[in-house]
């Protein structure tokens, strides 16, 4: 993409043909891994994530045990082959940060008090990345937890919005994320309207923030519809 290419044209159409408030195409599946207690596959635009859940199971190391609740541990990992320039394998600052915010978002819905002294492990593997992977991973992890039969107050759904070429847009893909002015990933608890995650990279005025926030919430609600359809499709079949 050359420097002069506009991310949003004069008709409000984006480089990939989407309107400002349009999501990328999303495909979800649960129960995709035999060895896990729960699992999910999410293809979201060019992002591909696999989430697996193990537990509640005995908590090791023992010092992490909590006699009042289960310890929820989420690990986000981006595969070396998930991006154009090979990513250095293993954890880095970014993956620690995403693992932490994902854990905190899911802790707000999982009924951890039901399983004292145990651990619930969630592994999120990003196999293909094209921006928005923390939202894709969190969305996948939520339905993998449901697939594992772990009781939750609700299914958390995530979606980002942001700003490119001065326009507020939904669900940024790589070029928009790289060259745009702001990225606002959020996660919602649809039943209560609570916000389980919110981060902001870049600058937005208060007015822009409010528009972007409403757009991301609306996007999250659409994502949540797909999550529910996916779970119902799996569990309603004979």
> Contact positions toward ligand ADP, by CB under 6 A?
83, 85, 87, 94, 129-134, 174, 177, 183, 185
User: Rounded to an integer, what distance in angstroms lies between the CA atom of residue 187 and that of residue 160?
Assistant: 8
Ordered strands of the 47-58 beta sheet: 26-30, 38-44, 47-58, 118-128, 71-78
Taking the least distance from each CB to ligand ADP, the nearer of 83 and 218 is 83
**Nearest distance in Å: CB 185, ligand ADP:** 6
User: Rounded to an integer, what distance in angstroms lies between the CA atom of residue 157 and that of residue 189?
Assistant: 7
Taking the least distance from each CB to ligand ADP, the nearer of 152 and 200 is 200
**Nearest distance in Å: CB 49, ligand ADP:** 10
Taking the least distance from each CB to ligand ADP, the nearer of 148 and 204 is 204
Taking the least distance from each CB to ligand ADP, the nearer of 133 and 224 is 133
**Nearest distance in Å: CB 32, ligand ADP:** 21
User: Rounded to an integer, what distance in angstroms lies between the CA atom of residue 22 and that of residue 159?
Assistant: 11
Strand 38-44 to strand 47-58: parallel, antiparallel, or no bridges (unpaired)? antiparallel
**Nearest distance in Å: CB 1, ligand ADP:** 15
Taking the least distance from each CB to ligand ADP, the nearer of 119 and 186 is 186
Q: Do residues 75 and 124 make contact, with C-beta atoms less than 8 angstroms apart?
A: yes
**Nearest distance in Å: CB 138, ligand ADP:** 9
Residue 110: alpha-carbon gap to chain centroid? 16
């Amino acid at each position: 993409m050359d420097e002069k290419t506009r991310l949003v044209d004069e008709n409000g159409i984006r480089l990939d043909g989407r309107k400002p408030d349009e999501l990328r195409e999303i495909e979800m599946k649960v129960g995709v891994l035999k060895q896990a207690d729960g699992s999910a596959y999410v293809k979201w635009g060019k992002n591909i994530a696999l989430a697996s859940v193990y537990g509640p199971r005995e908590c090791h190391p023992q010092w992490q045990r909590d006699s009042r609740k289960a310890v929820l541990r989420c690990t986000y990992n981006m595969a070396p082959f998930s991006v154009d320039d090979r990513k250095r394998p293993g954890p880095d600052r970014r993956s620690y940060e995403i693992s932490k915010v994902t854990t905190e978002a899911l802790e707000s819905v999982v009924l951890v008090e039901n399983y004292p002294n145990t651990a619930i492990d969630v592994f999120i593997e990003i196999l293909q990345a094209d921006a928005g992977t923390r939202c894709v991973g969190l969305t996948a992890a939520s339905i993998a937890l449901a697939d594992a039969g772990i009781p939750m107050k609700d299914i958390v759904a995530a979606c980002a919005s942001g700003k490119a070429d001065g326009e507020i847009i939904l669900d940024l893909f790589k070029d928009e994320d790289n060259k745009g002015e702001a990225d606002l990933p959020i996660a919602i608890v649809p039943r209560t309207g609570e916000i389980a995650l919110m981060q902001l990279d870049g600058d937005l005025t208060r007015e822009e923030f409010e528009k972007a926030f409403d757009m991301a919430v609306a996007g999250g609600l659409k994502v949540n519809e797909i999550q529910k359809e996916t779970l119902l499709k799996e569990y309603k079949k004979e």
